[in-house]
């Protein structure tokens, strides 16, 4: 069974002397992953809009 390795939640957040280095790296990683996800979703929406416009143009030229 898993045992909690720290005496309290504050001790966990402080992580002895390492917390000042660990938590900013986690935050930076989450910001980067969030930014990449946001950019990917934005580009996906733009690509779908572009394809829809192209399909609409093709339909108008065929009729």
Domain contains 31: yes
Structure tokens at 23: 């938590």
Q: So what's the pLDDT on residue 61?
A: 85
Domain contains 2: no
Domain contains 42: yes
pLDDT in tens, 16-38: 889 999 999 999 999 999 999 99
In the chain, the percentage of residues whose pLDDT exceeds 90 is 65
Q: Is this prediction's pTM over 0.85?
A: no
**What is the residue range of 27's domain?**
22-62
Q: So what's the pLDDT on residue 1?
A: 76
Residue 39 burial (CB count, 10 A): 10
Domain contains 37: yes
Per-residue HEC secondary structure of the chain comes to CCCCCCCCHHHHHHCCCCHHHHHHHHHHHHHHHHHHHHHHHHHHHHHHHHHHHHHHHHHHHHC
Domain contains 7: no
Q: So what's the pLDDT on residue 26?
A: 96
Domain contains 12: no
How many structural domains are present in the chain?
A: 1
Q: So what's the pLDDT on residue 63?
A: 65
């Amino acid at each position: 069974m898993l045992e909690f390795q720290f005496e309290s939640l504050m001790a966990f957040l402080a992580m002895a002397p390492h917390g000042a280095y660990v938590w900013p790296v986690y935050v930076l990683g989450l910001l980067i992953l969030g930014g990449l996800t946001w950019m990917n979703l934005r580009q996906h929406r733009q690509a779908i809009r572009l394809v829809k416009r192209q399909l609409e143009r093709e339909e108008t030229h065929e009729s």
